[in-house]
Structure 1
Amino acid sequence: MAAIQVVRSEWTKIRSVASTVWTLSLAVVVTIALGMLISALTKHEFDNMSAKDRLSFDPTYISFAGMSLGQLAMIVFGVLVVSNEYSTGMIRTSLAAVPQRGTFLAGKIGVATGLALVVSMATSFVAFFLGQAMLGSHRAALGDPHVLRAIIGGGLYMTLIAVFSMGVAAMLRSPMLSLGILMPFFFLISNILGNVSATKKIGRFLPDQAGSKIMQVVPRIDDDTPYGPWGGLGIMVLWVAAALLGGYVLLRRRDA
């Protein structure tokens, strides 16, 4: 019964904080709108593509181009869900009401993850259908091999980005510090490591690079990645699990 009350309490917190609702809304709009734009531009430039680019042309993955910015909003959502109470001082009241810290953290992350999953799955499907509409004759169909896996994978990817951010925020507690680490990590460090030949083999095991493999339907030319779509998602899940474990351990050890 206590667990149900914790879930209800966390749902009320998320629903009543305008910033978390707006960040999820922004993730939806940015992912879909940018995906449609990139898909439309790709259709326009398709005839100018080289033969090599056409061989690795992946219409499904192109419709998810907006996730590169949409995940930014998911990161902010994940951080705010956990760290808002620390920044306002409400964490003391929450832990006084739910002294079992494992139950408290599980309820908070469980509710936020469920919400992120629903929003992310809906976003992934809408981004696919609208993106394919923009591609016209170059589009993929839902029934094509591996397309449904990629769409579901897109929803899982965005959800895991949010949950990973929750784990980091649980460890760091400060929203500014959490965002100050997560933003450069995903948008600077990951890109550098993934595009420099000396570090490329390391970069491919970072959570975003490994997890995004699940959204690919057509393999890239000369792709020597040592794991497949589900293997990449599995690597991302390990990163998320490590972040959540770190958050739980530090929550138990530290004072509010």
Structure 2
Amino acid sequence: MAAPGAVLQSEWTKIRTVRSTVWTLALAFIVTVALSAVICLVIKSTFSDMSEGDRATFDPTSSSFAGMALGQLALIVFGVLVIASEYSSGMIRTSLAAVPQRASFYFSKVVVAGALALVVGMATSFISFFLGQALLGSHKVTISDPGVLRAVFGTGLYMTFLVLFCVGVATMLRSPMLGLGILMPFFFLISPILSAVPKVKTVAKYFPDQAGQQIMRVVQEDNPAPYGPWAGLGIMAVWVAAALVGGYVVLKNRDA
């Protein structure tokens, strides 16, 4: 029986020595911070051109996380590659031969991936916030303002949950191409489109990304969700738990 510490060390070694996983996390950080900074600069220069309605609902805090729209692309890739790349390369057989306790193997991978995502997510959210607020000038808020620290901290948690959700889904699908082929359209096409369609947008608000992203906002939208920021993150956590449990069931009951 493999010791839990040794399995964790093994999963940490796998992730940090594979360039694709390291670079996807680095890209998530760079793209989110850089794009958020550019958007904050544009907002500052065009703020006087905004309508009264747009100014009334302007959220300086969430503006600092605007780059997340593209940065989460790299997070999805990271979450999928953490597990699905072992299936595509055939390394999953070697991994399970070395660690026949599938629960230990799977949850060690989940813990390592989640810990890395949490560190990168928190670094991304705090740096994006402080840089974005500095670039907004007189339109900025401070982290001590009501709801701001919650939004900054919650954004880091959202990034972590997104990675774990993708790990669970990719484990069920057992293919990087299939995982990316389903998750990319869902997060970048299906979810945004359905959230804008009047007859189904109420249901779409309970999708993992739509619910989780409520934690990033401090100023309420014109059409707010029927739950608060933490409840939204809780809804996303339920999606994550379901995906991870589904991944474990598939891994436990199907041959590599």
TM-score category of the 2 structures, normalised to the smaller one:
over 0.9
* Mapping 1:237-256, distance limit 5 Å: 237-256=237-256
2:154 counterpart residue number:
153
Note if 1:37 corresponds to 2:38. Answer: yes
Take 1:43 and 1:229, find their aligned partners in 2: how far apart are those partners?
26
Between the aligned partners of 1:47 and 1:115, the Cα distance in structure 2 is: 40
TM-score normalised per structure 2: 0.98
1:125-161 Cα shifts (integer Å, max 9, x gaps): 0000111111011001111111000000110011111
Which residue of 1 is the match for residue 98 of structure 2?
97
1:220 Cα deviation after fit: 1.4
C-alpha distance in structure 2 between counterparts of 1:115 and 1:60, whole Å: 24
Partner of 2:66: 65
Aligned partner of residue 195 in structure 1, secondary structure: coil
CA drift at 1:66: 0.4
Q: How far apart, in 2, do the equivalents of 1:9 and 1:170 lie? A: 18
1:187 and 1:199 map into 2 onto residues whose CA distance is: 17
d(CA) in 2 for partners of 1:226 and 1:217?
15
Partner SS, residue 195 of structure 2:
helix
Q: Which residue of 1 aligns with 2:228?
A: 228
What's 2:75 paired with? 74
Q: Point out 4+ residue stretches in structure 1 off by more than 3 angstroms.
A: none
Alpha-carbon distance, 1:166 to partner: 0.2
Equivalent-residue separation in structure 2 for 1:14 and 1:232 (angstroms):
30
Q: Return 5+ residue gaps in structure 2 as ranges.
A: none
Q: 1:48 deviation in Å?
A: 1.2
Letter in 1 for 2:5: I
Aligned residue number for residue 192 of structure 1: 193
TM-score, length basis structure 1: 0.98
Per the alignment, in what secondary structure is the counterpart of residue 179 of structure 1? helix
What per-residue deviation string (whole Å, max 9, x for no partner) do you get for residues 71-108 of structure 1? 11000000001111111111111101111111110001
Residues 16-59 of structure 1, C-alpha deviations (whole Å, 9 max, x = no match) = 10000000010001000110011111111111111111111100
C-alpha displacement at 1:224, in angstroms? 4.0
| Partner residue in 1 for 2:168 | 167
Query: What's the RMSD between the two structures over aligned residues?
Result: 0.8
Q: Deviations over 1:177-223 (max 9, x none)?
A: 000000000000001110111111011000000000001011113x3
Quote the Cα distance in structure 2 between the aligned partners of 1:190 and 1:156: 20
Partner in structure 1 of residue 140 of structure 2? 139
Percent of matched pairs sharing the same residue: 64
